[in-house]
Structure 1
Amino acid sequence: MGRISLFDDPYAQLHADKGWPDFGTWPCRWITLPNPGAPPFVVAYRCRFELNEPATLRFHVTADERYDLFLDGVRIGRGSERGDVQHWFFETYEETLSAGPHILVARVWTLGPRAPYAQMSLHHGFLLSPQEEAFYDLIGTGRAVWEAKRLGGYTFIDPLAAWGTGDNLLLEGTAFSWGFERGEGEGWQPVETLEPGVDARRYVNDHAPMHLLLPAALPPMMERCWERGRVRHVAAVPSLQTSSLPVRQADHLIEEAIAWQQLWSAQQPLIVPPNTRRRVLVDLEDYVCAYPEVVVSGGRGATLRLHWQESLFNEPDAKTKGDRNAIEGKYFVTLWHLKEGVGDTFLPDGGRSRRFDTLWWQAGRYLEIAVETKDEPLLLESLRLHETRYPLEMESQFSCSDARLETVTPLALRALQMCAHETYMDCPYYEQLMYVGDTRLEALVTYVLTRDDRLPRKALQLFDASRLLNGLTQSRYPSRVQQIIPPFSLWWVAMIYDYALWRGDPSFIRSLLPGARGVLEYFLAHRGADGLMRGPLGWNFLDWVPAWRHGIPPDGQWGASAPLNWQLVMALKMMEALERWLDEPELAARYKRLAEELAHTTDEHFWNESRGLYADDLAHTSFSEHAQCLALLSGLVPQERYERLGETLFTSSSTSSALPDLHRTTISFTHYLFEAYRILGRPDALLERLALWFDLKALGLCTTIEMPEPTRSDCHGWGAHPLYHYFATLLGIRPARFGFDRVRIAPQPGPLNSLAGVLVHPKGSIEADFTFTDGKLQGRVALPEGVKGTLIWGGREQPLFAGTQEVRL
């Protein structure tokens, strides 16, 4: 059967008879290799056992930091799902085995300072605990006979440019323990037993820090063989230092390229002759996150390097990328220091059918295979990529009369998929970290694409777990390196509001509100005598505006910033709504009062009548779209200001701006601009600002980017937010109240003459199909059972009910 999902402590019944000192403890214990040394290192654990008759075994597995699990030499799982020490996840497996001998083997690695930033750790160890008591002493760690040995051959190398992803791997075949997954080889020794496993929700005793265990929150990551890819360049090279060598068609070895393509596409073996150096460039034809796997024979002393890149660069010092489809005259380099790229290196030992793999996946569109042989030929038997990501697919559908919008869909979807793994990520190539600001947008897109909300729920809970004593969340989590971006804590409050709106679940939301209240109290404590909130300590990042130092709005670091004050007003209003929904009228009234007071003060100090805009700073020397967006989204802009902004924001929103010093939103913050456009009823402006996304395909991109060119990252999930607006703004389908059992459909087609879509809903799907002619709407709407709503168009309303109905307004 493989992996199965659990939702509670698997040993809950065992705890009933335990006294409080042992309440929540598991029947099995963590184990370790005695004296493994300082990380980084890799350890194998094995347990040989025999069944007298066929049996089905259910067992729970975890490790610090991560593991691969093999049963009778076949990998059956990976873990542990990422969390933190107080939320340490375990996976559950169920396997039906025949009578006779069997072997369980785990490869466990602890990289310490060489680990990805997102990989947290307490101490090295492995835990396997069967569900049934009959198997405790057969396969349970700390009870059955387990042995361990340190696996040789692993060297870890700083990736530099991809600083957040963990080290590159160099695997030396002559020192590697071949066959470890089958329990083979010498050097196995008895393990050392550590503390018992303990349940995070039941353990009450007062010990030193321990891994507090929770069932895996997510399904297994998707893993499938990547079948696409085109060998675009094969060349002889003077050395494997290829970063300064441009790709030139004149150097291309056509006949050899055919053989390499057959290896790639058909796994037809290829021989690299002795004393040969080759550079092979494979275009994967899409952005891919994958585990590489190579099987080789012979080639003792050879070097086989697999490096990844999102795009080739126009210059050897990696300044610009240009057309991502182009390779001629370009360089396979990486930003900053590591000019050879990001990836892994394998050193064959000359043995037969040696399978080299990696501990973690890599990401990108281009794969550079660099190979150098010595006196022996190298037989490449197979070369595969195993694509991995969260199993997120687009269940909703959208179409309209402007084909340009649909060209964005596959790029935005792929970006979100590549940034969705055991957590959301900002980007798969450089950091692999779940930032709050990025995650809010990724979660919103998730809500309109799929009914599966497990990843957003996990994100909300982990950000709650990241909170510091002062109340703020960390900017990214899980992360072994702490970083504080105070405005991101307010986006976490917005994330809670979003989940309540699109999914409901009052008990879940109630569990998060104490943390949200703590966030708001922290910001409220930073109000000065004039009532304005001053920028708190930390990186007060808002958007990658070129004129803003480090993305901080003017006076955002220590002074009074209009965008940051309006963001706080917006968060206070969201909190008021949540408290009222959860029947906390006194708290709701307080947040309402605080929001109104701060809105009045912010309006008084930052409104510039001559400009008809809110200034960014108290001196009125800077103006931005950001301040206007957040003011409008707060819902507390005075009516006369609202009407004025409906003029000034748009008269200065084109490239021929009458106000050239109005700072523009970039990719991520344009989501909030689009929300403001919706409030003002200007979908035409939204479509105009989508021009950046419309141009991505012409640049050869497969995913949405981090920032306007020149961009660092070619794959950033926050750039997928137009998909949200296709459904929630243009088609106009949004929850009318928390829990989404009422829907408000207010399409904003602008110049579009048709809009249609199927939007996932917790109770089914909402279907809408509209045409617009001479200011009139006609079409069809279908709602799932238990859902009612209202269609709004041209100042008129039509009630909607479960089932299908024709509409005309």
Structure 2
Amino acid sequence: MTSPWKLAPRPIPALPEIPGRFDGVVKCQGSISQDQWKGFIKDDSPVLIPAGEDVTVDLEVNSLTTGFIALQCSGGKGAVATLHYAECYEKDLGVETAPFPKPRTKSNRADSGGRLYGIKDIYTVADGRSGHTFEPFWFRVFRYVQLHIAAGEQPLTLQSFTLRETYYPLDISTRVQAGTELDKIWDISLRTLQNCRHETYEDCPFYEQSQFASDSRLQMLFSYQLSSDDRLARKTLQEFHASQGPDGLIKAQFPAGFRSTQIPQFSLYFVAMVYDHMHYFADISVVRQYLSTIDGILNHFDERINELGLVGRFDHDTWPFIDWVPEWVVPGKIFDSCMPRTYARTGAATFNSLLYIVALMQAAEVCTFAGRKDTASEYIARADTLRSAVNHHCYEDGLYLDGPSSKEYSQHSQVFAILSESITGVAAKELMSRTLDDTSLSQCSYSMKFYLFRAVEKVCLYTQLFPILIDPWTRMIKDNLTTWAEFEQNARSDCHGWSASPVHEIVTQVFGVSPSLPGFKKLRIAPRMELLQNAWGNFSTPAGDVSISWSKDSGLEVKSTADVEAEVIINGFVSAQQLKGGQAVTFPQRRG
């Protein structure tokens, strides 16, 4: 039988391998001095380990890195080299391998106290030939590497220890100068995304290295704001589409070399992926390709509507994950965690209905763009019906409950009530203020703060609340992180792409660059000049690059590399403008 599968051209470029070196020696034990180790990593000065001796050296790179390592040696029959890779030093948990989800204690990532936790490579020298090299088959992830050598019956000469950094070669043309603090936040965000972008998007490089739908939606969107290269994003859309099962859901984690746990709500983020791509690239062929995928996903959720008119219980073998929230953790039961407790009791969580409404709204826009107006109308009608049910059963005393007849509350329910337009106008603004003031509400993690930002933007409180909202990233800088952590309460992963939302905030909110029409057929420029006295940025769009600058003493200057229609908004004043390629246009400061 002829296979239905055919070879196809590689859809993304080959990943580079960029030569590099370790930046420093943290500490060492044994007969080899720190100066000798420095010469070894900087200049390939050979290090001789006498027969029968044990030596250890801890090396560092300035920023968390994904790369291949190569240890070149000579002689040393019977020697054993152990390479231990870690993101940072942390509190000794009294075990060799850090258990999950046992809380981890990490603070200053530049502090070399404590111990290293991470994977190890063990290289045993079999015959002691004159030249031999150890190199793993897959890239490693590290900020610190501990090299331990137990020499055998022969002395071992270490000739060099080098690295080759690797990641997806995104051609980034977006650059910003936004002051010391925001510039640091920007650089760390880019490093985070770079480390989570290889053959696929990855949730994190150090642990799962998995392409999850919710994580990928954010990473794809952030990539669009950095570059017009959408090849990896197109590949991701195709992969999740290919994972769709007969129940309509896509795999939450795909591709995967094992049977992964299904997270039903993650399928709704696929709708957002198509929605985002439509807005940034306006490629109708991409939209049409995935309309049936979207319809299957939405139908799955429609079939889950219960007697109250809410999205009800999912299949028993799924994990209805919403967010990493301390109050939602059930000790020893990870698959009963990460959702409000009311879900286990009632079979419904308000968030699930609200996320479904948001997906219906996005799908309606996608269908309208593709000329499927009847389907768009159907999705809008579904959303209207579901809003009524949510407001009837899950809204009480000015707050959205985490479930019907529940007395549990979270930021998540309030945020998605606003995003789903279940509450609007002055009432939505008041709800947003209360959401941020009431610390008893379960809090959004770093990933969900992207949606918190969107809700604050929607109720027109963004400028005044930005310093508060960006503070978690400022605190991570104080802990000397070089990439953004997974979440605050249990610092497991030090590099998670879903935490890089400052890219979106700086591009679309601080500088105010976003598509006014799909594919940047019309450009929207609405900088929040009150946030910065001086700023400059160059931004990638499919219609060409656009540069924006302003200073304390001058107005806004805009310059595009191509002819493009734009609407420029300064303190609420809208100016329609036809930008000419290469010509700068200045707009006076306006007082709101």
TM-score, with normalisation over the residues of structure 1? 0.67
**One of 200, 225, 229 as aligned partner of 2:23:** 229
Give the equivalent residue in structure 2 for 1:132: none
Give the equivalent residue in structure 2 for 1:584: 372
**One of 688, 706, 718 as aligned partner of 2:498:** 718
The whole-number CA distance in structure 1 between the counterparts of 2:304 and 2:72 is 60
Aligned CA RMSD, in angstroms, stands at 2.0
SS at match of 1:574: helix
Give the equivalent residue in structure 2 for 1:613: 399
| CA shift for structure 1 position 442 | 0.8
**One of 441, 448, 460 as aligned partner of 1:681:** 460
Give the equivalent residue in structure 2 for 1:548: 328
The whole-number CA distance in structure 2 between the counterparts of 1:224 and 1:795 is 46
**One of 421, 427, 439 as aligned partner of 1:660:** 439
Alignment of 1:324 onto 2:109: yes
Give the equivalent residue in structure 1 for 2:557: 780
The whole-number CA distance in structure 1 between the counterparts of 2:364 and 2:561 is 29
**One of 585, 589, 592 as aligned partner of 1:805:** 585
The whole-number CA distance in structure 2 between the counterparts of 1:487 and 1:684 is 32
Alignment of 1:485 onto 2:267: no
The whole-number CA distance in structure 1 between the counterparts of 2:27 and 2:158 is 18
Q: Aligned in 2, Cα 1:723/1:621: closer, same or farther, shift over 3 Å?
A: same
Give the equivalent residue in structure 1 for 2:319: 539
Structure with the higher helix share, 1 or 2: 2
| CA shift for structure 1 position 258 | 1.3
Give the equivalent residue in structure 2 for 1:125: none
Percent identity (aligned)? 27
SS at match of 2:517: coil
The whole-number CA distance in structure 2 between the counterparts of 1:722 and 1:674 is 10
TM-score, with normalisation over the residues of structure 2? 0.91
Q: Aligned in 2, Cα 1:359/1:265: closer, same or farther, shift over 3 Å?
A: same
SS at match of 2:545: strand
| CA shift for structure 1 position 585 | 1.3
SS at match of 1:433: coil
| CA shift for structure 1 position 210 | 7.1
Give the equivalent residue in structure 2 for 1:698: 478
Q: Aligned in 2, Cα 1:723/1:569: closer, same or farther, shift over 3 Å?
A: same
Which ranges in structure 2 are unaligned for 5 or more consecutive residues?
99-103, 330-336
The whole-number CA distance in structure 1 between the counterparts of 2:281 and 2:22 is 37
| CA shift for structure 1 position 725 | 1.0
Give the equivalent residue in structure 2 for 1:301: 78
The whole-number CA distance in structure 2 between the counterparts of 1:366 and 1:734 is 39
The whole-number CA distance in structure 1 between the counterparts of 2:488 and 2:547 is 34
Q: Aligned in 2, Cα 1:604/1:764: closer, same or farther, shift over 3 Å?
A: same
The whole-number CA distance in structure 2 between the counterparts of 1:753 and 1:675 is 24
Contact 1:622 1:661 in 2 (8 A): no
Contact 1:305 1:371 in 2 (8 A): yes
CA deviation string 1:125-150 (max 9, x = no partner):
xxxxxxxxxxxxxxxxxxxxxxxxxx
One-letter amino acid matched to 1:584: R
| CA shift for structure 1 position 746 | 2.4
CA deviation string 1:69-113 (max 9, x = no partner):
xxxxxxxxxxxxxxxxxxxxxxxxxxxxxxxxxxxxxxxxxxxxx
Instruction: Report matched runs for 1:490-529 at 5 Å.
Output: 490-529=268-307
The whole-number CA distance in structure 1 between the counterparts of 2:26 and 2:5 is 48
Alignment of 1:598 onto 2:386: yes
The whole-number CA distance in structure 2 between the counterparts of 1:285 and 1:796 is 45
Structure with the higher strand share, 1 or 2: 1
| CA shift for structure 1 position 726 | 0.5
SS at match of 1:437: helix
Alignment of 1:264 onto 2:41: yes
Contact 1:783 1:801 in 2 (8 A): no
The whole-number CA distance in structure 2 between the counterparts of 1:368 and 1:722 is 32
Instruction: Report matched runs for 1:304-315 at 5 Å.
Output: 304-315=81-92
Q: Aligned in 2, Cα 1:787/1:600: closer, same or farther, shift over 3 Å?
A: farther
Give the equivalent residue in structure 2 for 1:54: none
Give the equivalent residue in structure 1 for 2:536: 756
Which ranges in structure 1 are unaligned for 5 or more consecutive residues?
1-205, 237-252, 335-340
| CA shift for structure 1 position 652 | 4.4
Q: Aligned in 2, Cα 1:277/1:417: closer, same or farther, shift over 3 Å?
A: same
Q: Aligned in 2, Cα 1:434/1:235: closer, same or farther, shift over 3 Å?
A: same
The whole-number CA distance in structure 2 between the counterparts of 1:298 and 1:704 is 42
Give the equivalent residue in structure 2 for 1:369: 147
The whole-number CA distance in structure 1 between the counterparts of 2:41 and 2:174 is 34
The whole-number CA distance in structure 1 between the counterparts of 2:4 and 2:374 is 39
| CA shift for structure 1 position 638 | 4.4
CA deviation string 1:514-560 (max 9, x = no partner):
11110000001111233211132221112111111321134345622
Q: Aligned in 2, Cα 1:399/1:600: closer, same or farther, shift over 3 Å?
A: farther
Q: Aligned in 2, Cα 1:750/1:671: closer, same or farther, shift over 3 Å?
A: farther
Q: Aligned in 2, Cα 1:350/1:507: closer, same or farther, shift over 3 Å?
A: same
| CA shift for structure 1 position 772 | 7.1
Give the equivalent residue in structure 1 for 2:240: 463
SS at match of 1:213: coil
Report which structure shows greater RCO (CA 8 Å, sep ≥6): 2
SS at match of 2:520: coil
Report which stretch shifted further, 575-584 or 744-753: 744-753
The whole-number CA distance in structure 2 between the counterparts of 1:806 and 1:738 is 25
Alignment of 1:737 onto 2:520: no
The whole-number CA distance in structure 2 between the counterparts of 1:570 and 1:490 is 9
The whole-number CA distance in structure 1 between the counterparts of 2:122 and 2:190 is 28
CA deviation string 1:192-233 (max 9, x = no partner):
xxxxxxxxxxxxxx44x6753221111111201122421121
Give the equivalent residue in structure 1 for 2:547: 767
Give the equivalent residue in structure 1 for 2:350: 562
Give the equivalent residue in structure 2 for 1:452: 229
Report which stretch shifted further, 456-465 or 314-323: 314-323
Contact 1:741 1:786 in 2 (8 A): no
The whole-number CA distance in structure 2 between the counterparts of 1:744 and 1:779 is 14
One-letter amino acid matched to 1:759: F
One-letter amino acid matched to 1:747: P
| CA shift for structure 1 position 784 | 4.3
The whole-number CA distance in structure 2 between the counterparts of 1:346 and 1:363 is 22
Give the equivalent residue in structure 2 for 1:387: 165
CA deviation string 1:638-686 (max 9, x = no partner):
44xx312312322442xxx4x3321111100000001111112222323
Q: Aligned in 2, Cα 1:375/1:765: closer, same or farther, shift over 3 Å?
A: same
Give the equivalent residue in structure 2 for 1:142: none
**One of 346, 351, 359 as aligned partner of 2:137:** 359
| CA shift for structure 1 position 261 | 1.5
Q: Aligned in 2, Cα 1:479/1:462: closer, same or farther, shift over 3 Å?
A: same
Instruction: Report matched runs for 1:427-446 at 5 Å.
Output: 427-446=204-223
The whole-number CA distance in structure 2 between the counterparts of 1:687 and 1:750 is 12
Q: Aligned in 2, Cα 1:222/1:344: closer, same or farther, shift over 3 Å?
A: farther
One-letter amino acid matched to 1:760: S
| CA shift for structure 1 position 617 | 1.2
One-letter amino acid matched to 2:380: K
| CA shift for structure 1 position 765 | 0.8
CA deviation string 1:349-387 (max 9, x = no partner):
211111222211110100010101122110112221111
One-letter amino acid matched to 2:422: V
The whole-number CA distance in structure 2 between the counterparts of 1:745 and 1:649 is 25
The whole-number CA distance in structure 2 between the counterparts of 1:748 and 1:535 is 43
The whole-number CA distance in structure 1 between the counterparts of 2:121 and 2:500 is 26
How many pairs are equivalent? 566
The whole-number CA distance in structure 2 between the counterparts of 1:771 and 1:235 is 53
Q: Aligned in 2, Cα 1:541/1:316: closer, same or farther, shift over 3 Å?
A: closer
Give the equivalent residue in structure 2 for 1:243: none
Contact 1:293 1:355 in 2 (8 A): yes
